[in-house]
Every structure is written in C-alpha cells, then in structure tokens.
C-alpha cells in the first residue's frame, strides 16, 4: 500500500516526522485512521511546532501525549503528523517553511490554521479524523474554511501535558471529521464523562449575525434551523459589550501569554521566524502589565455575561467566522483585516473557555462557510449529541 506521503496530494503531512501506528485493539474507533497536529509529542518522533528552528533546537520527545494512547486503545490507527502554522500563532494555514496545505474544498483559498494540515487531511479524505489544537480559533476557522466538522472542547478538560503551548489560558485540544457521528464518538473517548440528559434551548447571538451581510445572515439562520429541525429560534444580545472590544481583550491576553511562554526563545531565533508570526511576537513583546490587568478584568465581565446567556440549558448559535476563506493571493493588509474581523466571533469561546462545534452547512461563492453552536462549560457531550441527533 502506498505510504501517506505518496497519497498526500494536499501537503497535509510532515515529512520530517514520519510515524505510523496500526492499532490492533477492538473498540468504537476500530478501522478508522487519524492524523495528529505537529505540536503534540510522540515518543521518538520530532516535534517541529511548525518551525524548523524549533525542530533543530529541541530534543526528540520521549513521551507520547495521553490522548494518542486513548485513541489507539479505542481502535484507531495513527498514520502521520500534520502541518501547523508556525508556533501555532495564526489562523490562515500558511507556513513559509513547510508550505501551505491545500484546501481541497476551495483550492484557491487558504485552508485555515493553525491546524492546517489536520483540516486539509480530513477534507481530502486522507484520514477519517484528525487532531488539532484551538487557542484562538485554530480548529474552528479551518473547519469552516474546508467544509468539515470541527470541535473545540471546554478549556482544561483534556490534558495538554505533551503539547507545545501557545497561551495556556486558552489552549485546547480539538478535532475534525467529515462525519458528525465520529465527532461525537471522539468526544465520548476523550472527554470521559456522561452525556447530560435535558431539554436544550437555542438562541442566535444578535451581535454575531449583525457582522454578516443581511442576506448571508438570513441564509445562515435558515441552514442551522433546518439542521436542528427547529423553528422560531429567538435572537438574544450580549448586552452592553462590543465584540470589537472583546477581540482586543483576547489579543492582549493571548499575546502576553505567548511572549511569556516563548519570548526568550523567539528573541534568539527571530531571524528564523516567518512573516506574520514574527510581527505578532514583536507586538506581544510591547504589551505591559497594566494592559494585562485591565484585560483580565474585562475578561471576568465577559465570562459573567456569557454565563447568564448560557444559563437554563441554552446553546448559542453564531457564524464561525466572518466570511469564506480568504484567497491565497490576498494582500497582507487583506489577511490582517480578515483576521481582526473574524476574531470578533472566535474570541468568545476563547475568553470564556467554552465548547464550540462548527457545522459545514453552507457554500458561499463556491467555498464552504460554517455555522457554530456554543455551549456552557462542560456541556461538551450534550453539544455534540445535538449535532448528531437534534432533540
């Protein structure tokens, strides 16, 4: 049988980290294949973290991430490590060192990052599911761009002990699939908790849909209403807050943590860091403690506001991102504008540590456009169950 590199026509897999583990276990994932983002450690296999400089300045790991063992034990076979944006600090999926994985759903557009290889591999049918990570949107954005399901769980519910961090207060493991049932089965294995039984309610987030053109907002609502088999879904407001302000709060906190985590290493390898990521780290260096304290206070208020909206078994519906994936030939200014605008939607789950699932419900201009459902903390399995068997 051809190797994954011979079959990989979308540049999803890392040639510098070949790995294949065929599971012989019988379990709910028996017969399924998966890839793992190259920010997770596998014993004896290099972790590049999307950076040749990182690869060459760090030892080969001697431990394997716990979740990988759990997936193998459930019967799934690991067939490779997948590309990531450099140090996972981007949502576009473009890596100047290892190349940009192909978005087979829209080949002239970016695949989304930083879990670019994982999303591209799933969309291309190279694996049944793939593991990514999501700090600011690195599963949700590429899921929307590539037209697949993507899930970000409650922050802190899955160990990241053998993962390279970006900003630990926001980092989560996440996963992709073309099949909603597989997404749920992964949740049952990785989340280790019973599915709550209750009658959920749903509501649209007004400010989120206000960011879309009115025709697209209407089309998005119709698509998710049909998927959930619901009519007359109400619309609610986040209150006095503004999503642009929430975006800035997230940016400051994420950047400050990323610099604290990696600043010393980045300074000694700055000449090796690619465009975009380099500038973000340079900006992160300038954030001061006063900004961080102010942002933390704002975050606490945002968390309280969202807890009120999510009370009473409520799930909230919002567009995953602001638009379809940007075109590969977009200017740097266009990429930056897209990133800033789309973080108005992505920052909500990040700031509050909430689970969010992206559904591949629409095609706009010939490209996928995802709609998301957001749940309260630790309502992950209930949320995943809704997309498989709406009640």
**Set 37, 90, 133, 144: catalytic member:** 37
Distance CA 168, CA 363 (A): 34
Distance CA 133, CA 16 (A): 20
Residue with tokens 């969010």: 356
**Set 138, 144, 220, 372: catalytic member:** 138
Distance CA 161, CA 41 (A): 9
Question: Cα separations (Å) of 68 from 39, 41, 103, 289, 381?
Answer: 13, 9, 25, 37, 20
Reference 50, options 11, 89, 77, 20; nearest CA is 89
> Residue 201's beta-bridge partner residues?
314
Q: Reduced to 3 states, what is the DSSP secondary structure of residue 77?
A: strand
114 carries an active-site annotation: yes
57 carries an active-site annotation: no
Largest Cα–Cα distance in the chain?
58
372 carries an active-site annotation: no
Q: Reduced to 3 states, what is the DSSP secondary structure of residue 248?
A: helix
Beta strands (DSSP E) in 50-181 are: 77-82, 129-134, 149-152, 172-177
Between strands 367-374 and 235-236, the pairing is: unpaired
CB atoms within 10 A of CB 131: 28
Do residues 222 and 317 touch, judged by C-beta distance below 8 A? no
Residue 195 is classified by DSSP as P
Distance CA 51, CA 95 (A): 9
Q: Reduced to 3 states, what is the DSSP secondary structure of residue 350?
A: helix
Do residues 241 and 305 touch, judged by C-beta distance below 8 A? yes
- Catalytic residue numbers, as ranges: 37, 114, 138
């Amino acid at each position: 049988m051809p190797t994954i590199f011979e079959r990989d026509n979308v540049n999803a897999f890392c040639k510098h980290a070949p790995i294949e583990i065929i599971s012989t276990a019988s379990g709910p994932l028996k017969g399924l294949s998966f890839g793992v983002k190259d920010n997770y450690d596998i014993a004896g296999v290099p972790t590049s973290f999307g950076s040749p400089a990182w690869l060459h300045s760090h030892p080969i790991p001697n431990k394997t991430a716990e979740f990988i063992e759990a997936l193998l034990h459930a019967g799934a076979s690991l067939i490779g490590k997948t590309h990531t944006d450099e140090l996972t600090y981007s949502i576009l999926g473009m890596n100047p060192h290892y190349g940009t994985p192909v978005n087979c759903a829209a080949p002239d557009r970016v695949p989304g990052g930083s879990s670019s290889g994982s999303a591209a591999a799933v969309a291309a049918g190279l694996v049944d599911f793939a593991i990514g990570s999501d700090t600011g949107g690195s599963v949700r954005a590429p899921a929307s761009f590539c037209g697949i399901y993507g899930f970000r769980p409650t922050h802190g519910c899955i160990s990241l002990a053998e993962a390279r961090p970006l900003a630990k207060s926001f980092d989560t493991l996440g996963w992709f699939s073309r099949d909603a049932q597989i997404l749920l089965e992964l949740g049952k294995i990785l989340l280790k908790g019973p599915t709550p039984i209750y009658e959920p309610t749903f509501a649209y987030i007004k400010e989120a849909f206000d960011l879309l053109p009115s025709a697209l907002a209407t089309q998005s609502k119709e698509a998710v209403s049909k998927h959930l088999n619901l009519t007359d879904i109400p619309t609610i407001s986040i209150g006095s807050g503004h999503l642009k302000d929430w975006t800035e709060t997230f940016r400051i906190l994420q950047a400050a943590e990323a610099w604290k985590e990696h600043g010393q290493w980045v300074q000694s390898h700055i000449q090796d860091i690619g465009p975009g990521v380099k500038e973000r780290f340079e900006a992160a260096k300038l954030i001061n403690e006063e900004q961080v304290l102010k942002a933390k206070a704002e975050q606490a208020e945002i968390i309280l506001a969202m807890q009120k909206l999510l009370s009473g078994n409520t799930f909230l519906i919002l567009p995953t991102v602001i638009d379809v994936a940007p075109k590969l030939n977009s200017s740097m200014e266009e990429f930056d504008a897209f990133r800033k605008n789309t973080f108005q939607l992505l920052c909500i789950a990040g700031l509050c540590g909430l689970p969010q699932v992206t559904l591949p419900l629409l095609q706009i201009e010939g490209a996928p456009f995802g709609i998301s459902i957001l749940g309260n903390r630790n309502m992950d399995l209930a949320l995943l169950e809704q997309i498989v068997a709406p009640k």
